[in-house]
Structure 1
């Protein structure tokens, strides 16, 4: 499993860098050969690499009215054009404070997050004091993808010391792979050591940057990954208009054409190659892909039976790699075979795929508290701890929770959310005798199916019945509360538990729009 390079605290150890003293050369001696680019660290490169200090305030998914305790962490960044610093998104995500320190400097300068793309794990920082860049030029980036076996040097500030670290290796693999769902991109595997704190540091081949360190493979020795300059350039080009739109992608389910029975079933001869559409992203009649279509080309490039294409000499990647280069006005050209007939189509592509259980991507979860119950939408952050807990998974599966049964689904209608009881009930007599409802998804309130958290607030606000009846998805109790007492108890419960607000501002505005009685 590939583990993200989460940032680490500095170990505080000082590691001395050894410098080779040049041998004296007499005037009459022939000039010595120039040293290889990777035999010693370049001072110009060192001047372009910075250490990043961040104080992170992550959301607390089970207490959405607060944040987790601050965590201090470090990472690496590199100076790029426009007096900016490029780093990984996970170095700056949820940072309440960011500081930048130049190599061999004792000063830490405040920085702000200008752009962030969690999907491709890239971010751009700006400094308040741009005089910092006067003697620190941007690091030149390569315009070509390196070759396997090319030598690579990785610069950064990893765990184990406070000085700049340089590790050496080779490019061992290049592929198109998933970064953070749903974003895929070109990825370079190297065998140079990458450790926590290296995140955001440049990798160089010769005197040019070929990518940015971002992760390593857990449980394996010296298998690290860098984001190539091609992906970096796409990101920087995207943000030139002042916002990040994201990378276009297709989300249809595909399967290989390796099985001979499948080929015979589709009536394809041995000369026809491609990847099979197992489930199109949309069942709309106008959608250009149908089940059992065979994608044979993307643009003019042939697709093989494993869904791969050839790039240059010896490089073979998934065909989706070309989407980011061929997409125009939200579509990409494909050639397909349907019912033994070849045809050209324009497939819609998009940076985003709506998900019922969404990623927060740097935002904080909304919440609404009513009496002893706190409600929040299901998010990927909320579900993540459950995914790593076999007992919790088993319990939720047995109960028929939509956190399990609908994970990975698209919303059934625009705006659909799973509204959860976020946390164990606050202590109060109103919940006497009820089981703990934490993580249960609300199905109805007084018989009204709940569409999303805002809708729940509106339904409760406008209700005039004597009791509020909460029914949940799957097996379990129905919870019934006296309506007026539940509303009236809220303020005291908030005060007793040190909760500042009943809801996030937009939901509080909805709640107060029509006074509950």
Structure 2
């Protein structure tokens, strides 16, 4: 009886205590819920929809732009009254607008900076009062861990309101973005679709990166650019003289195979990556063929060419270049002929190629009678690259567009010059097959170094006839009368509604002699 009474009294006391605390607990719960709602609203306010009208170049009609293309994507408000988005959203944009979540108004914006290699761009809103009510999104300063929960904010196709999808971090890698730029890439399984590009990916209450790609033939595989890469881009732009990301362009190989290790006479304790093709043939270049890079800075490199990123993940050792390079030099430890040594290797953001990208520019071209010539670019190669039979045929014929695409320029060949459009219909071309995609080897026996060099040759030739030779086994000779070609140029331009016979840079080259003679 006494025990039951004590239990009853204790129960009443606990109930009274609980009742006395319930208002306080309720207030705390309400405060936490209010704070959570306010934080969620702030995050949503920082994500905007981006509208762009793009006018990219037409590499096969280099005198004109491609038809306007309207695209939509996402962007994120960051510090400095700026909006961060993807470069592919605003590259070659003739008009950019942004729209806040829940707003019925679109605001004009301007592209402040762009890095096509890193796929990042900065926008400035013309009406800066926009930022009074749309504050910067807080950004995490550390990488997330694999299996961390994330939410992707953006404006995918199929609706106008903000979309939020949930997922986890699947993996973190160091991969190529757009040649020659590589960077960290985070894979998540949250749904990312067209229109999500440029949207924020959140872990907890902070942004960990920017959505930029998805895999069309796989489910729930999306990629984001992490804050570390974004910070490199922002610091580079804020420097006032952007240089891009430094990189190491030496070709290396893993050291997993025991026969390979035996050939190099490497002990069991030696791990690293083998230099197969140094980035430079200069005798003074610090790295040599068969050097084994064992450390980058103080970070050991394993036999798969990887370094530790976190306790549970590894990435390619080239990732550390962007952290360790100082004043264009990178510290490495190598083993050469069995002896370890420290070297300092030059690194750069640029890697000159015979077939470079346009990098936001429009192609250089020159029209000579019914013939159109352009400098070959990566964009020009998009057509053949998507046509396997064409690539096979070009390879069989030894066309340099295929055989020399990975080469670096030199004194003999600064760039490739190709016939960049089908011949315009004209009697001067009668009997010749179309040389579209053929690379010019020489003009009147003089090897062509560049488009500017070829324009100079055509400008200064004293000969009545012009002979074009093309660099492939099955290419015929094209011989045309110089004066008739010059006379035909004007009618070709008029008949086809072309404003100018050359791009501004080539027109300057063409007119130099005329100016001098006057």
TM-score by length of 1: 0.93
Q: For 2:33 and 2:233, locate their aligned partners in 1 and report how far apart those are by CA, in whole Å.
A: 34
Q: Are the aligned partners of 2:77 and 2:134 in contact in 1 as well (CA < 8 Å)?
A: yes
Q: Cα distance 1:508–1:219, how it changes in 2: closer, same or farther (>3 A)?
A: same
Secondary structure at the aligned position of 2:112 is classed as strand
- 60, 67, 70: which is aligned to 1:69? 67
CA contact (8 A) 2:357 2:379 kept: yes
Deviation, 1:267, is 0.7
The Cα shift of 1:127 comes to 1.3
Task: Supply the distance in 1 between the matched residues of 2:414 and 2:24 (Cα, whole angstroms).
Answer: 81
Q: In 2 relative to 1, CA 357–36 (structure 1 residues): closer, same or farther, beyond 3 Å?
A: farther
Corresponding residue SS for 1:514:
helix
Distance in 1 (CA, whole Å) between partners of 2:293 and 2:213 is 32
Asked whether the 8 Å contact 1:117–1:244 carries over to 2, the reply is no
* Structure 1 position 515, deviation (Å): 3.4
How far apart in 2 are the matches of 1:286 and 1:39?
Answer: 62
Residue 56 of structure 1, aligned match among 51, 54, 57: 54
Aligned to 2:432: 434
1:359 to 349, 357, 360: 357
Corresponding residue number in structure 2 for 1:205? 203
> Residues 336 and 38 from structure 1, CA distance in 2 versus in 1: closer, same or farther, beyond 3 angstroms?
farther
Which entry has the higher C-alpha Rg, 1 or 2?
A: 2
SS of equivalent residue, structure 1 residue 403: helix
1:366-377 correspondence to structure 2 within 5 Å = 366-377=364-375
Q: Which moved more, 1:192-201 or 1:387-396?
A: 387-396
Please state how far the C-alpha of 1:40 moved relative to its aligned partner. 10
Q: Which residue of structure 2 lines up, in the alignment, with residue 419 of structure 1?
A: 417
Alignment of 1:201-350 (within 5 A): 201-350=199-348
SS in 1 for 2:395: helix
**How far apart are the structure 2 equivalents of 1:251 and 1:508?**
35
2:495 paired with 1:477: no
Measure how far apart 1:238 and its partner are: 0.6
Question: Hey, what's the Cα distance between the residues in 2 that align with 1:414 and 1:497?
Answer: 35
Secondary structure (helix, strand or coil) at the match of 2:153 reads strand
In structure 2, the residue corresponding to 1:515 is in which secondary structure? Answer: helix
Could you tell me how far 1:385 is from its partner in structure 2? 1.6
Do structure 1's residue 496 and structure 2's residue 495 form an aligned pair?
yes
SS in 1 for 2:29: coil
Cα distance in 2 between the residues matched to 1:159 and 1:390: 31
Query: Is residue 413–residue 448 contact of structure 2 (8 Å, CA) maintained in 1?
Result: no
Task: Tell me which residue corresponds to 1:103.
Answer: 101
Q: Which secondary structure does the structure 2 equivalent of 1:382 belong to?
A: coil
Structure 1 residue 41: deviation in Å?
A: 8.1
In 2, the alpha carbon distance for the partners of 1:308 and 1:426 equals 53
Compute the displacement of 1:476 (Å). 1.2
Do 1:115 and 1:243's aligned partners in 2 also have CA atoms closer than 8 Å?
Answer: no
Between the two proteins, the alignment pairs up a number of residues equal to 493
Matches within 5 A, 1:457-472: 457-472=455-470
Using a 3 Å threshold, how does the CA distance of structure 1 residues 209 and 510 change in structure 2: closer, same or farther? same
Whose helix proportion is higher, 1 or 2? 2
Q: Does 1:159 align with 2:157?
A: yes
CA distance in 2 between counterparts of 1:36 and 1:349 reads: 51
1:510 corresponds to 2:509? yes
RMSD after superposition: 1.9
Q: Take 1:163 and 1:91, find their aligned partners in 2: how far apart are those partners?
A: 19
Return the offset for 1:39. Answer: 9.9
Could you report, residue by residue, the CA deviation over 1:405-427 in whole angstroms, capped at 9, with x for unpaired residues?
10111112387111111100011
The SS at the match of 2:381 is helix
- C-alpha displacement of 1:351: 0.3
8 Å Cα contact 1:37-1:207 kept in structure 2? no
Instruction: String of CA shifts for 1:157-214, please: whole Å, max 9, x gaps.
Output: 0011111000000011011111111111111110000000000000010110000000
Any conservation in 2 of the 1:57–1:94 contact (CA below 8 Å)?
Answer: yes
CA distance in 2, matches of 1:26, 1:497: 82
Listed as ranges, the gaps of 5+ residues in structure 2 are 1-20
Which has the higher relative contact order, 1 or 2, with Cα contacts under 8 A spaced 6 or more apart?
1
1:18-33 mapped onto 2 (5 Å cutoff): 27=23, 30=26, 31-32=28-29
Could you say what secondary structure the match of 1:380 adopts? coil
User: Match for residue 15 of structure 2?
Assistant: none
Per the TM alignment, residue 36 of structure 1 is displaced from its structure 2 partner at its CA by: 12
* SS of corresponding position for 1:186: strand
Aligned to 1:401: 399
Kept after mapping to 1: 8 A contact 2:39/2:205? no
Residue 398 of structure 1: CA displacement? 2.2
CA-to-aligned-CA distance 1:269-328 (integer Å, 9 cap, x gap): 111111111111111111010010000001111100001011231121111111101000
Q: TM-score, normalised by structure 2?
A: 0.92
Contact conserved, 2:412 with 2:449, CA < 8 A, in 1? no
- Which whole-Å CA distance do the structure 2 matches of 1:392 and 1:312 have between them? 45
Q: Could you say if the C-alpha distance between residues 311 and 65 of structure 1 is closer, same or farther in structure 2, counting changes exceeding 3 Å?
A: same
